Amino acid sequence: MNQDQNAPLREDVRLLGEELGAVLREQAGEQLFDTVETIRQAAVESRGQGEMQVGRLRELLDPLDDDTLLEVARAFSQFLNLANIAEQRHRERLHRNHQRYPGDPDTDRGLQQVLAELEKADVGQEKIRSVLEGLSVELVLTAHPTEVTRRTLIRKYDQVADLLTTLDRADLTEEEGQRLRRHLHELILSAWSTDEIRRERPTPVDEAKWGFATIEQSLWRAVPEGMREIEAELAQAGLPPMPADWVPIRFASWMGGDRDGNPNVTAAVTREVLLLARWMAADLYLRDVENLLADLSMHRASDELLAYTGPSHEPYRVILRQVRDRLRNTRAAMEARVNGQPQPTGEGYSSGSQLFDELSLIDRSLREVGLAAIADGQLKDTLRRLNCFGITLLRLDIRQESTRHTDTLDAITRYLGLGGYADWSEAEKQQFLLAELENRRPLVDEAFYQSELCDDDIMQVLETCKVIAEQGPEGLGAYVISMARTSSDVLAVMLLQKIAGVCHPMRVVPLFETLDDLNNAGDTMSALLNIPLYKQRVLDGQEVMIGYSDSAKDAGFLGAAWAQFRTQEKLTAIFRNHGIPLTLFHGRGGSISRGGSPTRMALLSQPPGSVAGRIRVTEQGEMIRFKYGRPSVAAYNLEQYVAATLEATLMPPAQPRPEWRKEMDRLTEVSVASYRQVVRDDPALVAYLRTVTPETELSRLALGSRPARRKPGGGVETLRAIPWVFAWTQIRLMLPAWLGTGAALESALETADETDILRAMSEQWPFFQGVVDMLEMVLAKTDTRVASWYEERLTNDAELIRLGDTLRERLARTVSALQRLTGRESLLDNNPVMRWSIRVRDPYTDPLHLLQAELMARLRNRESDPVLESALMVTIAGIAAGMRNTG
């Protein structure tokens, strides 16, 4: 294997840069090209000297008028997007190498390696097969406002990536190569000529359609492709074939169902999204069936099938035409319901089993008459899609904040003359809820809905439950309660579903988010399981969601990570003792402070026994595009989830040693106190956030349908975790990912004994290894000098300057402490690909940072300026692309 496996990446970056330069010359003129190139060279030279020379860059940027500033920002932003395409393409290239060179230590660990390790560990094939058969990985697509690139540009970038793939071919003629270069030039020209800023904020329905598009354009192909690769690796390891309908990965969504703090997600929106998903599913299956109709022309068929079709020269087509008609009817019915039109005549599909039965009949017949090879082709792919996506495309979760349920029940009890539910003790609430759950009579009459107590907010909660009642269970996933704190929070949702007449109740999933709620989660769930009625209802399994975003905002990264670990340990033990299967639902985001990390690292760093063949994970915003936007990358990532879940189940990490636990307790005590000393106790923090970072300006960017704040005004506590992370990322301070952790490491490294314990933890404990590796990655993206530019340009307030100096000093000390722990002089010495990626981006992000600070200053002195506002939005999007992480 080529020693320099990253040479093709550098070549792709060079090629894309050349073509972008040519487009700049053509479209903006030689003068702008020279300006951009001069700025880039100055940034390269400054970085080469080890520190940015701000004065030199300012000399180049200050004379530029507003229109030129916009074009310069666009040029640097465009290059960063193209660099991302090159990296994505290189990831695909390395994935192929992973398959070709499975022993290469520089490539990821896939299913083949896991199976080999299991064999070495004498884990029997029966055990492996048993775990695989029951394996359940559910990926929940969420529309958090982090995807800053317009869909129209994403399509163009995908075409660029496809061209890079074709240019990799060794058998291209010179003429073919030139033609492909011309096409590449056209695509980059088209991207340059397209407005990169989304001008209108997407609606929740728009977000849901974006999720559907990811399935249509990538996952629809990736699931069967990934399954074929998994099947081949299992066969290579000597394992017997899995059942034909085996698909261990499924998809759910929060898009159109997540109403926590988003007033735009109404019951009507949820209903529309569910119908549109059914429409899209019918349309995709219809395309599959049209292809099967074209291919399955053979006449040999089983007696079972011929008994169904009657005599025919093309019996398979007889069934497939019926399937096609029913899918068309289903699609027409969904469209009519969305548009409020009369229902068309004709039988459609009301359940996935109906479609599965008809396709399975064809499958059995083909195998019985010796045509198994045909059955294993497109038909098998369609059956696998059906087992993965169902006829609803996605299972939609509902998420709502616990106080909204309390308010609703409070209105009901007041209407009934029982007093205020919100004022009752926990015991009184439980007594009322349990009595009403077992009571057969209706709790409220129609007059309640017309009363003054049933205001718009109360009606939305009740109407949402009515939507749940309308839907069959196939299209619905979990009802997630954010800010869940008590047993009554869970029982309340069960009662609200009963009030709405839900025949197949959604499973109710408490989400424990803050540090206190995580620490109390075990007691809350134990109390629930001690209620006979509740325990009876969850005998088949309980799901609990672990919050990463708000816990990190509350306690800092390290404190939250340890609380999450201990909470999972407690919950795993509790449910094991009760004999009830537990699925842990991880609410991860893309950034380290929101739980982001590579798949294998994330799963193997969980407490032993907590995975147990079942995992549920959120995939959000930009991470959906990075991991699942292209079929080959998506197929690889799906295999990674299967491999990592299997490994974490059958070869879980050892229990942490007692001295490691004590050390983590000490570390987190220092970390949480240090973090809160700044975030909660320093009165300058909120003003610093809103003055020095673009937190205020982010509201101008049409990122997502949800407001940036849970409540207007207020401090950090009202700010959502995503814009909180996004704002600090834009100025390269990355505060949520390290604040407090550095102080904890410094404290521990003061003594030789604790230093030895820390090093043993980082070498032998996957949980702490993950903490250290992710901290190193995020610290490599920080830059104290960049952060200081914003401060120098945007404030002269002594208190804010004081805080800025403190934060940069803390950051520098965190880097120093990490270097002492790892023994590496430079960050990412152990990850040359990441180190090169950051280095190649710096000359393009540096000018964007300076531009952004200047634009923020100018705009804050003006009421409105469309050109400057556009330029600012471009810098936000460009820096997000350069950092490869927004929140």
CATH of the domain at 343: 1.20.1440.90
Question: Is residue 423 assigned to a domain?
Answer: yes
pTM for the model: 0.90
In this structure, the answer to whether residues 189 and 45 fall within a common structural domain is yes
Kindly tell me if the per-residue pLDDT of 886 is higher than 70.
Answer: no
Question: Is residue 424 assigned to a domain?
Answer: yes
Where does a domain end: 334, 359, 389?
A: 389
In this structure, the answer to whether residues 205 and 254 fall within a common structural domain is yes
In this structure, the answer to whether residues 457 and 410 fall within a common structural domain is yes
In this structure, the number of other CB atoms found within 10 A of the CB of residue 156 comes to 19
Where does a domain end: 327, 357, 389?
A: 389
Kindly tell me if the per-residue pLDDT of 91 is higher than 70.
Answer: yes
In this structure, the answer to whether residues 428 and 526 fall within a common structural domain is yes
Question: Is residue 871 assigned to a domain?
Answer: no
Residue type, position 428, single letter: E
Residue 586 · residue 551 · CB < 8 Å: no
In this structure, the answer to whether residues 471 and 614 fall within a common structural domain is yes
Q: Which of 156, 553, 570, 849 is catalytic?
A: 553
Residue 584 · residue 544 · CB < 8 Å: yes
Where does a domain end: 371, 389, 407?
A: 389
Q: How many folded domains does the chain comprise?
A: 4
In this structure, the answer to whether residues 637 and 774 fall within a common structural domain is no
- For Cα atoms 577, 578, 584, give the angle at the middle one, nearest 5 degrees: 85
**H/E segment holding residue 848:** helix 832-859
| Among 311-325, 452-466, 750-764, 861-875, the least confident range | 861-875
Question: Is residue 869 assigned to a domain?
Answer: no
Residue 881 · residue 721 · CB < 8 Å: no
Question: Is residue 581 assigned to a domain?
Answer: yes
DSSP states along 359-372: HHHHHHHHHHTT-H
Residue 156 bears catalytic tag: no
What local confidence, expressed as pLDDT, does residue 102 receive? 42
Q: Which residues contact 19 (CB under 8 A, 6 or more apart)?
A: 181, 184, 185, 188
Per residue in 219-250, pLDDT (tens digit) is 999 999 999 999 999 999 999 988 877 999 99
Residue 144 bears catalytic tag: yes
In this structure, the answer to whether residues 597 and 699 fall within a common structural domain is no
- Rounded to an integer, the average pLDDT of 495-499 is 97
Q: Which of 90, 95, 98, 144 is catalytic?
A: 144
Kindly tell me if the per-residue pLDDT of 376 is higher than 60.
Answer: yes
Give the three-state DSSP class for 253.
strand
In this structure, the answer to whether residues 144 and 122 fall within a common structural domain is yes
Per residue in 157-174, pLDDT (tens digit) is 889 988 998 988 878 898
In this structure, the answer to whether residues 792 and 729 fall within a common structural domain is yes
In this structure, the answer to whether residues 712 and 775 fall within a common structural domain is yes
Q: Give me 527's structure tokens.
A: 């109390």
In this structure, the answer to whether residues 472 and 602 fall within a common structural domain is yes
Question: Is residue 257 assigned to a domain?
Answer: yes
For the chain, the 3-state helix, strand and coil shares in percent, each to the nearest 5, are 65, 5, 25
In this structure, the answer to whether residues 606 and 537 fall within a common structural domain is yes
Per residue in 620-665, pLDDT (tens digit) is 877 888 888 889 889 999 999 999 999 999 999 889 999 999 999 9
Question: Is residue 877 assigned to a domain?
Answer: no
- Its domain, for residue 823, covers 658-830
Rounded CA-CA distance 807/728 in Å is 12
Question: Is residue 883 assigned to a domain?
Answer: no
